Amino acid sequence: DIQMTQSPSSLSASVGDRVTITCRASQDIRNDLGWYQQKPGKAPKRLIYAASSLQSGVPSRFSGSGSRTEFTLTISSLQPEDFATYYCLQHNSYPRTFGQGTKVEIK
């Protein structure tokens, strides 16, 4: 099984800050990785697919990069509505595996 190690598990940041979240895969997953944002009581929302493709309608301050085993989600200038939990997901093989999540909180 492919393990996804996501870091950090939480972070405190201010509005306007640049935020970076990382996911490491235990083996090569090509670019078969996506990023989700989840707010309390809501379903996950896809932000990034195929490692670096921005979902239509998602603000351009969100970006994804990486391939094979190292992936990054960057929020270039954190906005109040971005405080949420973020997850990566590998869909290269079964079982599908999520990262543990990163909770982004207000400093």
Partner 1 sequence: EVQLVESGGGLVKPGESLRLSCAASGFTFSNYNMNWVRQAPGKGLEWVSSIDGTSSYIYYADSVKGRFTISRDNAKNSLYLQMNSLRAEDTAVYYCAREVAITMVRGVTPDYWGQGTLVTVSS
- Binding residues for partner 1, rule: CB under 8 A, are 30, 32-34, 36, 38, 42-46, 48-50, 55, 87, 89, 91-101
Residue 73 near residue 64, CB atoms below 8 Å:
yes
- How are strands ordered across the β-sheet holding 70-75? 4-7, 19-25, 70-75, 62-67
Which H or E run contains 89? strand 85-90
CB of residue 22 to partner 1, shortest distance in Å: 16
CB of residue 44 to partner 1, shortest distance in Å: 6
CB of residue 104 to partner 1, shortest distance in Å: 14
